Amino acid sequence: MSRYQLRCRGCQQTYPAQDLHTCAACLGPLEVVYAPMGAAELRIAIERGPRSLWRYAPLLPVDGELPDEAIGLTPLVHARRLGAELGLARLYLKNDTVNPSFSFKDRVVAVAAQKAKEFGYDTIACASTGNLAGAVAAAAARHGLRAVVFVPSTVEPAKLVAPLAYGATLVEVDGTYDEVNRLVAQVAEDRRWAFVNFTLRPYYVEGSKTLLFEAAEQLGWRLPDAVVIPIASGAMYVNTGKAARELVEFGIVAPQRLRIFGAQPAGCAPVAEAFASGAERYAPVRTPRTIAHSLAIGAPADGNAALALARATEASIVASDDDAIRDAILRVARSEGIFVEPAGGVTVAALVQLARSGALARDAVVVVYLTGNGFKTPDAVDTSGARRVRVAPRLDAFDAALPERDLVEVA
């Protein structure tokens, strides 16, 4: 076989890598599988590669010349202060808020845009809960493609500014994300556009493996003991399992148990609810109600696969309500200086629950994915309790307004 091919997740039928997303035999979803590679050469190739996600190109379904893009290879921060609060000595935050369009979606779009060009498309498109729209628009601008992005009209306004600035055509749909998705499936029938998270999905999801590849390399080529990952469609969650399997299969990390925990907002938690009830399949949420708009997918494409993966790795999928999400945003901002959007709040809130319940050992290597930037969602945090004074431009006014004794010590 060539370096990689497509394989059906249902009936295992294989296909040469082509512009295809469902199995012709059973309509099951397709995934990319790679031919065997030598561990030593692979590791050397990665370590000599560019300082971006493209260093993992041998484990990605792309051909030809790679673009010079500063996507990925984001910091893995040893969170000592947050870890001390939670009783975790080896807690790490994968800070994906600092990607070019300020979410992890730049990774999946990087791979999909590359495929769109290989397949000869001139337009890339997506159904988005907000962040993907920005990532697709930015990639289109870089590659000289057209972008058409579809979002529910409830998306936070700040998330629509960037796609418009990048020059995308924005389609705001009065409906839920699942309704946007259904519309996009119809549009895809008669427009020859590359829908990154639909028609190019087998390639797109491969980009989300790169967070774990990086974390493993940043830990000195080892898997963590646990990861905590936000779930919307479940693609990043499920493909973290695939990333771990590939690292072990290709011999670049030692096999070990990796528990893959999931995080959802309580107002749209179909997978967490199914996990809690012991169900094998989730029940869709018709009307999501949460401040975590980027995770508000009521019928996640990879929801049932996520459920199976949580159980197979002896982990769990945790739901947190909006108050806990807001608290968690401030907690990680104030302990580690990282400002996350609600998806990050959902993940940190799940971490807090897991740490309190004793699910994570004190010395376990725990990696938490922070996938979106808080500057895109300023209305999601409540800073009304924070210290803030307004003064005349005179020292006496300042001293009166803010005496030194009023300032509390940092913990």
Which positions touch Zn ion (CB under 5 A)?
Answer: 8, 10-11, 13, 23, 25-26, 28
Which two three-digit tokens encode residue 94?
């994968």
155 binds ligand PLP (CB under 6 A): no
19 conformational bin, left if phi > 0, alpha if psi -120 to 50, beta if neither: beta
**Nearest distance from C-beta of residue 228 to ligand PLP, angstroms:** 12
Residue nearest to ligand PLP (CB): 372
Q: How far is the CB of 377 from ligand PLP (least distance, A)?
A: 10
Interface region with ligand PLP, contact rule CB under 6 A, candidates 18-26, 33-41, 125-133, 184-192: 125-133
Amino acid at 351: L
Residue tagged 């994915």 (tokens): 369
Give the one entry of Zn ion, ligand PLP, none that residue 8 binds, where binding means its C-beta sits below a cut-off of 5 to 8 angstroms depending on kind. Zn ion
Q: Determine if 374 is a binding residue for ligand PLP (CB under 6 A).
A: no
Contact pattern from residue 12 through residue 41 relative to ligand PLP, giving x for each residue in contact according to CB under 6 A and a dash for the rest = ------------------------------
Q: How many CB atoms lie within 10 A of CB 101?
A: 25
- Dihedrals phi, psi of 226, to nearest 5 degrees: -150, 145
The span of 62-70, 179-187, 234-242, 329-337 binding ligand PLP (CB under 6 A) equals 234-242
Q: Which is nearer to Zn ion, 8 or 355 (CB)?
A: 8
Candidates 343, 128, 363, 111; CA nearest to 237 is 343
- Residue 15's contacts (CB-CB under 8 Å, 6 or more residues apart) are 5, 6, 7, 23, 24, 30
| Spatial separation of the C-alpha atoms in residues 274 and 259, rounded to whole Å | 18
- The residue within the footprint of ligand PLP, chosen from 83, 224, 230, 288 (CB under 6 A), is 230
Among 294, 313, 320, 335, binds ligand PLP (CB under 6 A): 294
SS3 category, 266? helix
Binding characters for ligand PLP, 339-368, by CB under 6 A (x = yes): --x-x-------------------------
Cβ proximity to ligand PLP: between 114 and 294 the closer is 294
Site for ligand PLP in 236-255 (CB under 6 A): 236-237
- Specify the DSSP class assigned to residue 377: -
Closest CA to 342 of 294, 287, 404, 271: 294
Q: Are 156 and 293 in contact (CB under 8 A)?
A: yes
**60, 231, 252, 365: which one binds ligand PLP (CB under 6 A):** 231
- Nearest distance, CB of residue 191 and ligand PLP, angstroms: 23
Shortest CB 389 distance to ligand PLP, Å: 34
> Are residues 368 and 78 in contact, defined by beta-carbon separation less than 8 angstroms?
no
Nearer to Zn ion, 23 or 318 (CB): 23
Q: 299 and 270 in contact (C-beta within 8 Å)?
A: yes
Structure-token pair, residue 145: 């493609």
Beta bridge partners of 261: 228
Binding flag, residue 176, ligand PLP (CB under 6 A) = no
Residues of the shown chain interacting with ligand PLP in the complex, contacts defined by CB under 6 A: 103, 105, 129, 131-132, 208, 230-237, 294-295, 341, 343, 371-372
